[in-house]
Structures are given as structure tokens and as C-alpha cells.
Amino acid sequence: MKHVNIISPINQLGYGVVGLNVVKALAQSGYRVSLFVIGQPNFPDDCSDLVTECVNNSQLPNFDAPCIRIWHQNNMSQFVGSGLHVGFPIFELDNFTKEERHHLLSLDKIFVCSKWAKEVILKSCMKQSPCDNIHVIPLGVDRGIFAETLSSRPETIFFNCGKWEVRKGHDVIVEAFSEAFSTTDNVELWMMCDNPFLSAEESKKWADLYKRSRLGDKIRLIPRQQSQKDVYNIMKQTDCGVFPSRAEGWNLELLEMMSCGKHVIATDYSAHTEFCNEENCRLINIDKLESAYDGKWFFNQGQWGSLGDKQRASIVKNFQGVHELKKGGGLGVNTAGIETARKYSWENTANRVIGSLYNG
């Protein structure tokens, strides 16, 4: 039996969801996983036995086995054992700080989610980081949870899921929604965007931006859910996901919406270009980049997609197009999105991990 040591958070935030699903897929494929949890674990009850077993394995780990750290690129110094040290960062910008580059260059191998991310590393570290040390490991979706379904609700419901951030285009979604529709249109916008890293005052500012907008009565703010099944129970009631992100490290929720057969609107930039195309997504063209600054998380250390008047107009047009299809009974499921989701299983992620560790 092959052994893998994994260091990762296990919770319902981005890294935690990735860590949980990678651990599950590897363990279910027959590998002995020793799990070292970053922070306080929080996982669904139906994963309790598996996660507990993997945590227990960490008491007697194989110190010669490779160790994968699923965490931020500026914190890659702590590993287990003397096997390969593999970093699996999920980053959004097109450049690294001196600190981030220093940590990345210490690794034996680097796993990234997308070809876009690999190009970023090659551009930033190419003189010191050989191309064959960088492996693209696409993330996945659990289609046992995120199954296709049509909304039975009469309204056209648009949905966004992701922590309140300028990076995710949350400042633009509310503007485009207010511009696209009138008070008489049978539409709603659902935002599931609680950010546990914001202060109460910062969270209120985001909520007020939406609830005090012209169509605030048509906007529903949904609290963070406890499990992926709970997230699915929200998603299945919606018609279209809107993700006008300036930059993404992957965008789990976008792929999950595709898996549900929902139509999606997203920017044609950064990591989700790994699985978004003209057949499965209503793409928002990004024609220029700008300095990544939000005064909270990003301070000009790289660039991201610029969302200007043309991009907002594109979101408005796509909002209206989806609503017209729903009104006319022609929206249907996003067949191309479902086919894409089938290709991006967590089992495939696990297979790519093992192949890159032992064969790459």
C-alpha cells in the first residue's frame, strides 16, 4: 500500500473543502493517508469515520512517504518526514511577493489547479523552478451531491457563492442586477457570501450595499451553510450562477453549479478558464488587467482582470438573456456544464496526485 502524508485544513472554507475531498478520494482509492489538520477540523458527519482514521494514521506516519501541504504559498515551511515536500497552493494573482517566491522555491514539487497557475509560476520563478517540478492537478466536484436539477420556482433566481470580496466582483454584481431589471421583473438575486475574516462593520457594509440598492427587495442574503449538501440544497433552487471574478484560484462553486446543470456567467480569466468555455458558460471578456488592490487583502502585489463598463454591460446582457429564456420556458439544464463536471471528479484529482507523486 502506498502512503501519502497530507497537511491541510478540513472545514467548509476553500482550502478545507479541497483538503477534505482530496483526502477522501485518496483513501477511497486504497492509499494510506496520514492527515495532519491545520486549525480546528470541521467536517460533515458522514465523513467522520474516514477523517478520524486518517488523523489516527498520523500518529505512526510513514516518514519516507511524500508529504503534500494544501495551503497558502507564503507558508510552505512545515512538512512531515523526509519524503518529497509538495506544496499545493491555490492562488489568484499573476505574480508573487518575495516571501511567496522564497517558499515556493523550497519545494520538491508544486501542485497547481490550472494551466494558468502553472504559467504564473513559470513566469515568476522560471529561472529557478524547472517546468517538470510543476504539475497541474485540477480540482473536482462531488456529483453524488451536486446532481443536475431544474428549479421549480417561478422566479428567475441568480446565485453567487463566495466570501465577500472585491476580487470576486461583488461590487459589480449588484450594479449589474439593478441595471438589468425593473421592480416588476420576476427575478431574485441570492448571495451566499458570509466572510468569517471580516469584522461586523465590514460585513454590514457589504450587506447594506445590496439591501439598500434599487432592487434590494429582490435580493436575499443567505448565511454560510454547514456542509456541501446544505450548499446543494440552495443551489438546486436557483437558475444561474453569476461569477464575475477579477481573479480566481479555481472557483469550486462555479463548477458545482455546472454539475447541478445550472447556467453560469463568469469572467474569461484566471484559473477557472481550466474548465470554462463558450459551450458551458456565458463568458465575460476581460480585455485588460489592472493592479490588484482592494485595501483589505490585496495591495498591488500583482494584477487581476479589470471590470469596466464593457464587462458590466456583458453581465447585464447575460442576466437579461437568462431571464428571457426562463420566462419562455426554454432555459433547460446546462448540458455542456454537466458534461464538464463529469470530467472533473475528485477521483480524477486523486489519480493525478498519485501519478505526479510516483510517476512524474
pLDDT digits (tens, 9 = 90+) for 338-352: 999 999 999 999 999
CA distance 293 to 273: 22
Q: Are residues 234 and 352 in the same domain?
A: no
pTM over 0.85: yes
Q: Are residues 218 and 337 in the same domain?
A: yes
76, part of any domain: yes
The answer to whether 21 and 90 are in contact (CB under 8 A) is no
Q: What is the pLDDT of residue 131?
A: 61
Q: Are residues 188 and 328 in the same domain?
A: yes
Q: How confident is the model at residue 126 (pLDDT cuts 50, 70, 90)?
A: low
Name the one residue in this structure whose C-alpha cell is 481573479: 247
Q: What is the pLDDT of residue 50?
A: 86
The answer to whether 90 and 15 are in contact (CB under 8 A) is yes
Of the candidates 44, 41, 5, 39, which has an alpha carbon nearest to the alpha carbon of residue 23? 5
**Percentage of the residues of the chain whose pLDDT score is greater than 90:** 87
The answer to whether 186 and 153 are in contact (CB under 8 A) is no
Q: How confident is the model at residue 124 (pLDDT cuts 50, 70, 90)?
A: confident
Q: Are residues 319 and 350 in the same domain?
A: no
Q: How confident is the model at residue 129 (pLDDT cuts 50, 70, 90)?
A: low
CA distance 29 to 35: 15
Q: How confident is the model at residue 325 (pLDDT cuts 50, 70, 90)?
A: very high
336, part of any domain: yes
Residue-wise pLDDT tens digits, 254-301: 999 999 999 999 999 999 999 999 999 999 999 999 999 999 999 999
CA distance 109 to 86: 5
Q: Are residues 66 and 169 in the same domain?
A: no
Q: Are residues 135 and 192 in the same domain?
A: no
Q: Are residues 77 and 214 in the same domain?
A: no
Q: Is the pLDDT of residue 309 over 90?
A: yes
| b/e sequence 249-267, b meaning 16+ C-beta within 10 Å | bbbbbbbbbbbbbbbbbbb
Residue 226: exposure state from Cβ atoms within 10 A (0-12, 13-18, ≥19): exposed
147, part of any domain: no
Q: Are residues 133 and 208 in the same domain?
A: no
Q: Are residues 128 and 196 in the same domain?
A: no
Side-by-side strand order, sheet with 85-87: 32-37, 3-8, 67-69, 85-87, 109-112, 134-136
The answer to whether 115 and 228 are in contact (CB under 8 A) is no
61, part of any domain: yes
Q: Are residues 266 and 291 in the same domain?
A: yes
Dig out the grid coordinates for 192 from the structure.
Answer: 451566499
CA distance 268 to 343: 20
Q: Are residues 182 and 130 in the same domain?
A: no
Q: Are residues 177 and 225 in the same domain?
A: yes
Q: Count of CB atoms within 10 A of residue 311's CB?
A: 21
171, part of any domain: yes
Q: Where are the beta strands (DSSP E) in the chain?
A: 3-8, 32-37, 67-69, 85-87, 109-112, 134-136, 156-161, 187-192, 219-221, 240-243, 263-267, 282-284, 289-293, 299-305
Residue-wise pLDDT tens digits, 163-196: 999 999 999 999 999 999 999 999 999 999 999 8
* Chain mean pLDDT for the chain: 93
Name the one residue in this structure whose C-alpha cell is 512531515: 80
CA distance 312 to 264: 15
3-state secondary structure of 176: helix
Q: How confident is the model at residue 42 (pLDDT cuts 50, 70, 90)?
A: confident
Q: Is the pLDDT of residue 210 over 80?
A: yes
List residues bridging with 229 in a β-sheet.
none
DSSP letter at 145? Answer: T
Domain that holds residue 237: 156-343
136, part of any domain: yes
Q: What is the pLDDT of residue 128?
A: 54
151, part of any domain: no
Q: How confident is the model at residue 360 (pLDDT cuts 50, 70, 90)?
A: low
Q: Domain of 230: which CATH number?
A: 3.40.50.2000
Taking residues 8-24, what's their average pLDDT? 92
Higher pLDDT, residue 96 or 42 = 96
Work out how many domains the chain is built from and give that number. 2
29, part of any domain: yes
